[in-house]
Chains A and B, each alone.
Chain A
Amino acid sequence: MRAWINRQSLLVDYTLSALARHGGRNLGLFVVYSGIVFVLASTMLFTDALRREARLLLAHSPEVLLQKLKAGRHAYLTREDLESLGQVRGVSRVEGRRWGYFYDPVAGANYTLMAPGVDPPDRGRIDVGDGVARARGLAVGDTLSLRSAAGGLFVLVVGRVFSAESSLVAADLVLMHPTDWEAFFQLPGDVFTDAAFTVDNPQEVRNVARKIGERLPEARVILREELLRTYASLFDWREGILLALAGIAAAAFAILAWNKASGLSADERREIGILKAIGWDTRAVLTMKMWEGALISGGAFAVGFLAAWVHVFHLEAALIVPVLEGWSVLYPRFVLTPAVDAVSLLTLGLLTVLPYTLATLVPAWRAAVTDPDQMMRGTE
């Protein structure tokens, strides 16, 4: 074993000095390779971080949500509905929620207007998300005029602007007093947009949801785990599509690598010829060339991955955001938590290092098996 390690370390030593001698030749390849790793790694790091954010966010959402439907369209729940649903065995709490969408032509954006059941703002005052504040240039104490469902102007005073940390959930949010909400949307006091259920026993959530659905057969019942599953599938799919597209670039790169590795320079030919003439066998030359590929791969992988890390976690993934996040006027600004898992690294390695190594194997072997005199004369 020690002999093997000694042999490999000497080969690495020789390969490094050879690379230093022919540095310029591999520079272009190295840059393109790092670029491919950068795109793939940015995609993976970003979607992994988004998945994690979604998981953390939904961990605090209610286990079951219910929306009433009439003829397949959304309908309001009544207080009687909520009382009936609250009696379902397994439901520890049911909360009727009141919210609606409002299109603001000034900002060209949709707001979510909500009347919280607990601790609402005072009458005539609102709390706004940082996206709304940004779109309308609002600060605490400013007034916001919105055209209500009745057609009149509704003037509200900003009592609080939510911090940027809550942007992921609150960018488009406007919280108001329930009475203001009813007056704004011209709705009676005992209707609710949807209902949120708390179920204490996680093993029973599915059964409880089934029983809730039986009480209001036309309603749509949404489970938290379904939301999580949908988010995971959505991010996985977007990530996969981008990776598949980047895979085409990786394939083009593999062809470039093959081409590059096939065309040895006169210096390299002479060097291999001399090595073989002084007693290196085919396997040693092949191993040396494989080490050359591994060192280029490893270097490009490290550079590309580090650049992707900086891009995603320090530069807000500016280059890939439009493809992966979706689009909205009031898009939340948020900072992702840096993290990486072993599976992502292994997957990235498989998708980048393996194609390169395979693409350079045959040219490396061709160089290794050529006769030394042909190599030195330059006839091969």
Chain B
Amino acid sequence: MIFQKSVLALLFASAAGALGALAAGPHALAVWRHWDLETGRARQLRLERRSSLVSTGMSLLLVVQAVTLLLFVFNADRMASQFVGAMCAVGTLQVDGFGFPALIARIAVFFGSGIWLAMNAVDGRCRDYPLTRPKSLLLLALIPLLALACGLELAYFRGLRPEVITSCCGSLFSSGSPAVTGDLAAWPVERAMPVTFVVLGGAACLSAWVARHGRGGLALGMAGLLAFVVALAGVVAFVSLYVYEDPRHHCPFCLLKAEYGYRGYAFYVALFAATAAALGAGALAPFAGRGRSPASAARLQSATRALGGVALGGFLLVLLMTAWQITASGLTLFPHG
């Protein structure tokens, strides 16, 4: 099913990202090995000139990678009507064995891109380019990830056959499922709910602290990652139940459907943006004290503050939306509470 407009666009975007990163690889390697702002050698001048091209091109391609994650999920949901047994994106992603690996690789690309973009934005604003070498190293690490995501996506779309009978979300996200999704669905609500609120609340508090002081990025990065995992687990364990008003429907993908007002998009965009900002702050943390000049150090701190602010906004939105789902729902899970 490669000949579909969204599939063609997704494959084109993925291939452009992977090929662009591959083309930038030799430059990234040269920067990692030879970058020295103190020298005025011809090689250094060449690297500096080429850096502007690589940073602009990769910024463009990685922003596209981030945006197309949304298109990938939306497309999976839309294509569900073409497969027997599929009710939402889960059915489409399960048509062949590459669906979920492709999605996970795309999520990894999203966060990798987010970190690189944060580093690149700060680096471009400092006169002594303190992050040029680390961001080159990150770009080298992103090359296999982008290539893997592109390969998995191609394999996934090539494997989509309309005659395949797939299974719906009910079988994957049920407490009887042997997969990890079954364990998440079986996570008791009375435990899942406080844990989710405490972890998300903690991440929001830490974000506020970072947004105020411009320090503590590393802790925020780790807390953000933990909050991301716990929030997703919380969606499967209890948020979904309140949204669908059905104590057995645990699917985190049906939230994206029109009949639930597409509210999943607002929830996930906030969660992903907050996590990416937290990870970005975490990635900047090791370089906070190493600016060559006070101006660079101040820029790093101000960027960490800004990322803390974005993370705070995102985590607060996720908390508010979760609380709202529970209070506005017609489902009552704790009749005596």
Q: Give residues in A with beta carbon < 8 Å to B.
A: 44, 225, 228-229, 232-233, 236-237, 239-241, 243-244, 247, 282-283, 286-287, 290, 343-344, 346-347, 350-351, 354-355, 357-358, 361-362, 365, 368-369
Contacts and interface: CB of A to CB of B under 8 A. Distances in A.
B6 interface: yes
Contacts of A240: 2-5, 7-8
Interface string B1-41: 11111111100110010001000000000000000000000
A9 B36 CA distance: 34
A294 B28 CA distance: 27
Nearest to B59: A290
Interface stretch (B64-72, B141-149, B245-253, B322-330): B64-72
Interface string B225-241: 00000000000000000
Nearest to A368: B52
Nearest to A352: B9
Contact of B57 (A236, A237, A247, A358): A358
Contact of B162 (A229, A241, A361, A365): A229
Interface stretch (B74-82, B197-205, B207-215, B267-275): B74-82
Interface in B135-155: none
Given A233-B82, A343-B75, A346-B71, A243 B56 contact: no
B11 to A, nearest CB: 10
B6 A343 contact: yes
Interface of B: 1-9, 12-13, 16, 20, 49, 52-53, 56-57, 60-61, 64, 67-68, 71, 74-75, 78, 81-84, 124, 162
A44 B68 CA distance: 18
Contacts of A282: 49, 52
Given A344-B5, A346-B67, A358 B60 contact: yes
Contacts of B83: 229
A226 B162 CA distance: 10
Contacts of A361: 53, 56-57, 60
A289 to B, nearest CB: 10
A58 to B, nearest CB: 12
Which of A236, A244, A287 has the most chain B CB atoms inside 10 A of its CB? A236
Contacts of A247: 8
B65 to A, nearest CB: 11
A320 to B, nearest CB: 14
